[in-house]
Amino acid sequence: MLSVATGFAAISHKIVTRMMADEFRHQFDLNVNENEDINFVDDHQPNKRRHTQHQIQGLEAFFKDCPIPDYKQRRALGLELGLEPQQVKFWFQNKRTQLKTRHDHLKNAELRAENKRLRDENTTNLEHLESVACASCGCPISIREISVEEHRLRAENVRLREQIHRFSTIAAQNIGKPVADNIPDSKPL
């Protein structure tokens, strides 16, 4: 008895729901086919309407002149092309979105190319810097490995070596024998 009551309740609910849907359609003057079976599950595809070639050409031509038409322009264009103002509105929105997407893709491609060029240039410059020697101390400059303090000390060592060399030359001229033999020759680090 329970299953019959449950089945009856389900059928009653379906009938009431169908009657309410039919009444809604009649009230809002929608197309109603009396023999139509109402399916309350959204398993059907939306009805996609494609525009004709003539409509697309008209929309494209108007878009070139005015990419954002107001309601009056959309209504007039819709009457001319046999479209609803809402359809014209959505077509223009989609067209602007499509153009913006294309523009963004092109801009991204340009930025990627610029980024690659800058990375390559940076790599080349870093390779060049590694082969450059310091003008004051003659040591190879390696930006990643040498600190400012170490570079200052190396330059000072070069200056002191040059000073020792000058003093030893002067002493050798005055004393008569080279003094540089007693000074150890230190190499740069």
Give per-10-residue mean pLDDT for the chain (189 aa). 52 57 52 44 59 94 94 95 94 96 94 92 83 68 67 85 86 72 52
Check if the beta carbon of residue 168 is closer than 8 Å to that of residue 180: yes
Predicted confidence at residue 166, as pLDDT, reads 87
Predicted confidence at residue 170, as pLDDT, reads 84
Query: How many Å apart are CA 177 and CA 189, to the nearest integer?
Result: 30
Predicted confidence at residue 137, as pLDDT, reads 65
Predicted confidence at residue 76, as pLDDT, reads 95
Predicted confidence at residue 136, as pLDDT, reads 63
Residues forming beta bridges with residue 133, ordered by sequence position: 140
Q: How many helices (H) and strands (E) does the chain have?
A: 5, 0
Predicted confidence at residue 1, as pLDDT, reads 47
Predicted confidence at residue 31, as pLDDT, reads 46
Report which DSSP code applies to 6.
H
Burial class (CB in 10 A: 0-12, 13-18, 19+), 137: buried
